[in-house]
């Protein structure tokens, strides 16, 4: 089934169709939201090792922003982006992006942060279990979404800096998991209403869209603010 999402607020209104679809498939506000959790987790460490922060951000941009969304497009029963990119192309993109992400991750795991291996395994599992809906879609739920793309990213950022877990990081990860849970709870009815194309539901669609913008842009704003403070203090 094909339900176009080209009219979404995060999809460019200009350029060739393949360009618009490529940008849309990245779900940049929500990818940015997840990456912001990674940054926040990194900044909770007492001492910041900047190359590690850049590395973990790049890892999540590739693994989530590119690979997970490409796999999601393959595994989805609905086809929000149509057949602009074939499944073979999407699979190739997903594999390449994931390979680069894990190559970077393994480098840091072997040399500096072996504890990150635990999160790498968990995130790798969720990437396929959630996006390709393995195990009859058992892990394609709001709960596992909030854990895999809300809680674990923050812990990944913290572990990348410290090779450890702290109480403060666990508390912060529970907060980001709740934010991710709220995002997916709003996103699902928002998508269903968008598909219905019913004018009388327009006000509710606008309300949901504003909530999604607030959560994604707000999370990114918090991460940028924290980053600027730490850079000024360093």
pLDDT in tens, 84-109: 899 999 999 999 999 999 999 999 99
What confidence score (pLDDT) does residue 198 get?
A: 57
pTM, 2 dp: 0.93
Answer for the pair 25, 81: CB distance below 8 angstroms, yes or no.
yes
What would the two tokens of residue 31 be?
A: 């990818």
- Count of beta carbons in the 10 Å neighbourhood of residue 216: 22
Report H helices in 44-151: 50-60, 69-75, 87-111, 116-131, 134-137, 142-146
Which tens digit of pLDDT belongs to each residue from 105-114? 999 999 999 9
> Mind listing the pLDDT tens digit for each residue in 105-158?
999 999 999 999 999 999 999 999 998 888 888 888 999 999 999 999 999 999
- Closest CA relative to residue 42, chosen from 122, 147, 116: 116
């Amino acid at each position: 089934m094909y339900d176009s999402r080209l009219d979404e607020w995060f999809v460019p209104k200009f350029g060739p169709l393949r360009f618009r679809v490529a940008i849309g498939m990245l779900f940049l506000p929500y990818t940015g939201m997840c990456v912001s959790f990674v940054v926040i987790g990194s900044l909770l460490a007492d001492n910041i090792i900047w190359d590690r922060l850049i590395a973990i951000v790049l890892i999540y941009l590739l693994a989530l922003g590119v690979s997970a969304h490409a796999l999601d497009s393959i595994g989805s029963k609905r086809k929000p982006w149509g057949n602009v990119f074939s499944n073979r192309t999407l699979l190739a993109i997903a594999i390449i992006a994931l390979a680069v992400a894990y190559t970077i991750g393994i480098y840091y795991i072997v040399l500096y942060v072996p504890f990150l291996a635990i999160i790498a395994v968990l995130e790798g599992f969720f990437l396929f279990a959630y996006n390709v809906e393995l195990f009859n879609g058992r892990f394609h739920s709001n709960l596992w979404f909030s854990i895999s793309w809300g809680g674990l990213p923050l812990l990944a950022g913290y572990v990348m800096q410290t090779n450890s877990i702290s109480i403060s990081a666990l508390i912060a990860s529970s907060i980001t998991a709740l934010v991710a849970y709220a995002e997916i709870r709003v996103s699902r009815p928002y998508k269903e209403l968008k598909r219905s194309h019913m004018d009388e539901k327009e006000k509710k669609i606008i309300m949901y869209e504003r909530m999604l913008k607030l959560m994604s842009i707000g999370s990114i704003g918090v991460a940028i603010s924290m980053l600027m403070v730490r850079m000024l203090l360093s």
